[in-house]
């Protein structure tokens, strides 16, 4: 192996040759695994992948000083391949022509994805047609060195339940005529595409989406199902990329929380309301907070569409809305958090600790920030009653976790340290 990246906390290596294969090693179902680098565990059997993820969680907890928390075997995903229902892909051009795929680690070179085995098949069809038409129309694509080029990213979101797709084309400027020609071709060649949007991102950084999203043709959103609920998602709404596994996690959250009839529950970073609806169906009165206005609009629509009148949603930053909301909530009412990879800000955890919920459920896609936040809560008079890990992203090095956190018996109300 050779080292390709030296970070402050970890080094990353690349395999050069196999001297003696481990019994768990297999032939990966991908021809470009060594170039793409998006699936570092793909050449391991599923059982070995699950053990690796279990150890990743254990190590994160250990490094945060939480050695005593048991980590049971990781819950396997319903399917190892074809599970990814959304993709955000860079558009570029090399010597061979138009490429659509992922940036190679540490570079601006795009690894062209022609039949990614992780993608839902409909995503791969959209990529293929888009690549051909961009080349045929000779549309300008983003050049990161020159910091210009019309087409920057292609976002595809699929509804497995209804076999439909929503496409977003990210451009560096408004150019309706040329982008509309591409959109029209996509809809004709892939009839499962029901709507196409344009997002304008004029920045020169690595952020994928800009602030302006325009509907170009077709439906404004996508209909899907998660568990027993029919949901609607917009082009920039967040939903786990593996909804079949997310459905199982949402049901587990409801089981762990076991809300009483009409019990008030806070759902922080609620997205389009997936967790809130599972709790409301059990009788809870749920209040969700989410920073993305589009997600809140869909959360409200999803609750209405599923006849769940015991949900309400607030558009705003959790840090700003939570103090006002907690002042109105019953003491000790349960809280659910599902923050981004960066975890919860300390001020949010302090507010939760001062509120003293009977139960806090923490859903996390990053075991390092989860462990950090659990350690902070431990210092505020809470303990982890149970923690389980889920294979949300088969073949990759990522893992999703659920932690059930409860007040320690006899502990005083937490106060901010320092």
Q: What length does the chain have?
A: 418
Residue 365 a catalytic site member:
yes
Report the C-alpha gap between 81 and 320 in whole angstroms: 40
Structure tokens at 177: 């005529």
Checking 17-23 for CB contacts under 8 A at 24+ apart, the result is 22/48
- CA distances to 338, 401, 403 from 273, rounded to whole Å, are 11, 19, 19
From the candidates 116, 344, 365, 401, which is the catalytic residue?
365
- DSSP state, residue 44: B
Report the C-alpha gap between 168 and 418 in whole angstroms: 46
Question: Do 102 and 153 form a contact (C-beta atoms < 8 A)?
Answer: no
Report the C-alpha gap between 320 and 195 in whole angstroms: 34
Structure tokens at 44: 């391991």
- Which residue spans within 239-334 are E strands per DSSP? 264-268, 285-290, 311-315
| 196: three-class secondary structure by DSSP | strand
Nearest CA to 238 out of 340, 113, 357, 152 is that of 340
- DSSP state, residue 171: E
Report the C-alpha gap between 128 and 136 in whole angstroms: 12
Question: Do 99 and 135 form a contact (C-beta atoms < 8 A)?
Answer: no
- CA distances to 95, 126, 398 from 104, rounded to whole Å, are 16, 21, 18
Question: Do 395 and 37 form a contact (C-beta atoms < 8 A)?
Answer: no
DSSP H or E segment with residue 380: none
Longest Cα separation, the chain: 70
* Residues with catalytic roles: 365
């Amino acid at each position: 192996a050779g080292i390709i990246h030296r970070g402050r906390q970890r080094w990353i290596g690349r395999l050069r040759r196999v001297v003696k294969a481990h019994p768990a090693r297999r032939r990966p179902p991908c021809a470009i695994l060594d170039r793409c680098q998006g699936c570092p565990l793909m050449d391991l059997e599923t059982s070995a992948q699950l053990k690796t993820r279990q150890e990743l969680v254990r190590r994160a907890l250990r490094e945060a000083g939480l050695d005593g928390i048991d980590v049971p075997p990781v819950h396997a995903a319903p399917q190892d391949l074809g599970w990814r229902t959304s993709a955000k892909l860079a558009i570029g051009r090399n010597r061979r022509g138009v490429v659509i795929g992922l940036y190679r680690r540490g570079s601006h070179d795009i690894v062209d994805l022609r039949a990614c085995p992780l993608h839902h098949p409909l995503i791969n069809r959209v990529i293929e047609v888009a690549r051909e038409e961009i080349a045929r129309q000779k549309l300008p694509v983003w050049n990161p060195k020159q910091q210009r080029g019309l087409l920057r990213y292609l976002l595809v979101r699929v509804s497995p339940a209804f076999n439909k797709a929503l496409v977003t084309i990210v451009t560096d400027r408004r150019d309706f005529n040329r982008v509309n020609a591409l959109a029209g071709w996509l809809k004709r060649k892939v009839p499962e595409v029901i709507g196409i949007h344009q997002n304008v991102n004029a920045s020169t950084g690595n952020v994928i989406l800009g602030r302006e999203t325009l509907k170009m043709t077709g439906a404004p959103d996508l209909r899907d199902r998660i568990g027993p609920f029919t949901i609607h998602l917009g082009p920039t709404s967040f939903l786990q990329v593996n909804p079949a596994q997310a459905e199982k996690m949402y049901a587990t959250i409801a089981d762990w929380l076991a809300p009483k009839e009409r019990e008030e529950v806070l759902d922080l970073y609620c997205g389009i309301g997936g967790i809130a609806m599972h709790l409301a169906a059990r009788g809870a009165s749920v209040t969700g907070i989410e920073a993305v206005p589009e997600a809140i609009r869909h959360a409200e629509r999803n609750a209405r569409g599923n006849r769940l009148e015991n949900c309400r949603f607030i558009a705003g930053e959790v840090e700003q809305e939570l103090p006002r909301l907690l002042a109105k909530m019953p003491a000790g009412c349960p809280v659910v958090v599902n923050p981004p990879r960066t975890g919860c800000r300390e001020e949010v955890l302090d507010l939760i600790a001062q509120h003293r919920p009977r139960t806090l459920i923490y859903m996390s896609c990053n075991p390092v920030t989860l462990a950090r936040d659990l350690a902070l809560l431990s210092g505020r008079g809470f303990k982890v009653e149970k923690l389980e890990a889920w294979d949300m992203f088969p073949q990759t090095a990522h893992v999703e976790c659920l932690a059930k956190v409860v007040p320690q018996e006899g502990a005083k109300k937490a106060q901010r340290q320092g």
